[in-house]
Amino acid sequence: MSDITITMLILAVVVLAFVTNKIPVGLIAVGASLTLYAFGILDLGQAFAGFGDPAVILIASLFVVAEGLDGSGLTAWTGQQLVKRGGSSQRVMTVIIMAVVAVLSALISVNGAVAALLPVVVVIATKMTMPAARLLLPLAFGAHAGSLLTLTGSPVNVIMSELAEEETGRAFGFFEFSLVGLPIMAGTVLITLLLGSRVIPARVPTTIAPDLSDHARTLLAQFGGAQPFGRVRVLSGSPLIGRTADEIVFAGENPVTLLAIQSPATRGSRPASAPIEEGDVLILRGNPTSIRAVSDDAKLEGIGTSTVSSTWAPMDAEYGVAEIVIPPRSPAIGDAVFPGMLTESGDLVIVAIQRGGENIGDQTGIRLEAGDILLVQGKWDALDENLRDPSVMVVDAPDQIRRQAAPLGRRAYLALGVLVLMVIALATGIVPPAVAGLVAASIMVLTRVVSLERAHRSIQWTTILLVGGMIPVSTAITQTGAADLLATGIVDIVGGFGPAIVLAALGLVTLIFGQLISNTATALIIAPIAISVAYEMGVSPLPFLMAVAVTAAAAVLTPVATPGNLMIMAPAGLQFGDYWKYGLPVGLVFFGVAVLVVPLIFPF
């Protein structure tokens, strides 16, 4: 068999595997590149070239940048602030939600934007006593439209821009996508306002995303009897330096008790008999006003939520809380604990202990029993790291609480600054896009906006495997002549009607495939054919590449088209067939812009 035949057979198997959805898409893509190598279609370097491609580096970097924005609470806060201004009008609220998610998806991807706003939108729908689907479907489809506002909105945009530069020496600019994205966004919003109530079903959801935005007040209500405490750092010149815990008594109208001494070097508790040193962290229990007074007298510096408020503050931008339950047969049963006690790691403080709905325990300690609830406080990263212990059950994940409930702090402003610098670098082209993305991601990690572990977890490795594995497939389609063969066939069939009809035919194929398989995979399969078609007809490949990007983004007819669509399915109570009724007119907007508007902006 010829190389073209082998390549086409492999491509057919790949598409079939994508459609059946029985094998992970990343594995399909990598398997395809390895198969092409095994048959001698590609050499070893070509088979793995996708993983070193600048587009893959940029996409991976954008995941880390997105985690910085999302993990710092900036995306959820932005959504909450803007959505709150929508009032009681469903139409106004719908437009605001779609506008907010469009901006977010343009910066942090479709899936990230939908995930960040999903809990907020569910709460809004509940408060407005309206079916969640009436807001969640516009949320998802608004995100798809928003992905065409900037280069970073989608991996497909990045790939098409890179191909444009390879073929013509001219990449698509960062905001150049907005020329097609803005009319698509406007059309999607208009259709939603005109047809939304008719084509979006009012179903009862099977699950509801938790609303943790007011979690601090919830905890204050549940643990209202918890004795306030504070963390203070011993400064140079403090009269406490050199004294032991037994020698220290804080006098005053409202007593302050020294519960523990924490060493910054070891992060563990220091023995009560050890003298206090500069830099030690003291855990004090008492009225916050008294703690502030003691801190002033003894040259102590408040840390985190310790002495900020006149009432106990459960969380801020740096410190958070978590509820943990002692399950049956837990190794922790029988352990002696008390409020104000440091955990074994030295990173967390036990704020309160409840049994049967009542606060219990004092400094002498109690023995834990199955069903006891502990409220622990510490840095957000420490909560994430230490509460994976199988001996306890976490009620609400600290990461979810931080994203929805924690106020903005240093991390949020740093993340915003990094984003602005990255956008400027991408928009001006002062450095290659992959360099701009990689530098931005590195700054996020170096400034501790994103921990190294969280950076690793934030990267959607399925997407990386998919893009890295399908780039060699795209290379094989071009290198073997398969793209030219398909292009010749397409031109022979519809080429006589002009390049606009050929572009429409390719756009239609892309749109249909994008409902069944990953839109990224679809774009990588169709792009080399589109380029060959352009050269076959003697016209510019730019309108064809942009049309592929636009129609690939129109993944609006099925829930399996993108993770963002699938994400809203359960909270909205939707069924598989509910998407196309609303998605068909929206998809026609994408298709219409690809066929009618794109050639005006990027002439043949």
Three-state secondary-structure class, residue 585: helix
- Pick the residue with more confidence: 432 or 589? 589
pLDDT of the residue at 310: 36
Report the 3 state secondary structure along 329-376: CCCCCCCEECCCCECCCCCEEEEEEEECCEEECCCCCEECCCCCEEEE
- Both tokens assigned to 34: 């390895």
**Residue with token string 């993340």:** 415
- Pick the residue with more confidence: 85 or 429? 429
Quick one: average pLDDT of 119-136? 81
Three-state secondary-structure class, residue 200: coil
pTM given for the model: 0.75
* Nearest one of 286, 288, 287, 304 to 233, comparing CA atoms: 304
pLDDT of 305 above 60: no
Does an H or E element contain 478, and which? helix 461-479
Quick one: average pLDDT of 114-125? 80
pLDDT band at residue 545, thresholds of 50, 70 and 90?
very high
* Nearest one of 479, 271, 482, 313 to 406, comparing CA atoms: 313
The dotted CATH code for 319-395 is 3.30.70.1450
pLDDT of 454 above 70: yes
pLDDT of the residue at 84: 67
pLDDT of 347 above 50: yes
Amino acid 304 reads G
pLDDT digits (tens, 9 = 90+) for 369-389: 888 888 887 777 788 777 877
pLDDT of the residue at 307: 37
* Homologous superfamily of the 229-310 domain (CATH): Regulator of K+ conductance, C-terminal domain (3.30.70.1450)
In whole angstroms, what is the distance from residue 261 CA to residue 434 CA?
47
CB 299 within 8 A of CB 373: no
Domains 229-310 and 319-395 are alike in CATH topology: yes
Q: Of all residues in the chain, what percent are helix, strand and coil, respectively (each to 5)?
A: 60, 10, 30
Report the 3 state secondary structure along 53-73: CHHHHHHHHHHHHHHHHHHCC
Domain coordinates of the chain in residue numbers?
Answer: 229-310, 319-395
Residue 281's beta-bridge partner residues?
233, 262
pLDDT of the residue at 283: 75
**Residue with token string 């009432």:** 311
CB 55 within 8 A of CB 162: yes
In whole angstroms, what is the distance from residue 80 CA to residue 83 CA?
5
pLDDT band at residue 443, thresholds of 50, 70 and 90?
very high
